[in-house]
Amino acid sequence: MTDIEYMKLAYQEAIKAKDIDEVPIGAIIVKDDCVIASAYNQKESKRDVTAHAEMLAIQKACKILGTWHLDGCTLYSTLEPCMMCSGAIIQSRIAKVVYGASGQRWHGISQYLHNHTFNHYPDITSGILEEDCCQLISDYFKSKRHRF
């Protein structure tokens, strides 16, 4: 599958978040051309600040592989991973990160990697289905503003 096809799967996870009134962010992790984990944002429903889609997908992938080493894995996220998620990506040694929309309010993985020295640097690809991912998040927040 291509990055676009995998991002479409992450996008479907983001739709699940929207359907339960969470910020619509989705993530999947792929190893050897197989999706091994998928997740969506659940900060509100779990009442857990760490329940970002990327963090939940990383946790699932670690359980599936039986290790915290995610060498050879690619993480797809509909939004640029935040600094917390970036730390987990680096610590778990994920090989590649592909994201759709760039972070607008917070520094994400692109800034984090650029401004710090680490022992592991994943390959980064940005802008995959960017317009769709941006529109989904934008529409979500517009609908929240119109409720009040």
Is the model's pLDDT at 148 over the cut of 60? no
| Structure token digits, residue 5 | 């096809």
Please give the radius of gyration of the chain, using alpha carbons only, rounded to the nearest integer: 14
Q: What is the pLDDT of residues 91-110, one digit of tens each?
A: 999 999 999 998 766 666 66
Q: What is the pLDDT of residues 18-68, one digit of tens each?
A: 999 999 999 999 999 999 999 999 999 999 999 999 999 999 999 999 999
Q: Give the DSSP per-residue string, 116-140.
A: S--S---EEEE-TTHHHHHHHHHHH
Residue pair 140/24 in contact by the 8 Å Cβ criterion? yes
Ligand-binding site membership of 85 (annotated): yes
Ligand-binding site membership of 114 (annotated): no
pLDDT of residue 104: 64
Is the model's pLDDT at 87 over the cut of 60? yes
Catalytic residue selected from 54, 80, 130, 131: 54
Q: Is 43 exposed, middle or buried (0-12, 13-18, 19+ CB in 10 A)?
A: middle
Active site residue 130: no
CA dihedral 38→42→48→50, nearest 10 degrees, is 40
Ligand-binding site membership of 34 (annotated): no
pLDDT of residue 138: 92
Whose tokens are 């992790």? That residue is 29
Q: Which domains does the chain have, with CATH numbers?
A: 3-140 (3.40.140.10)
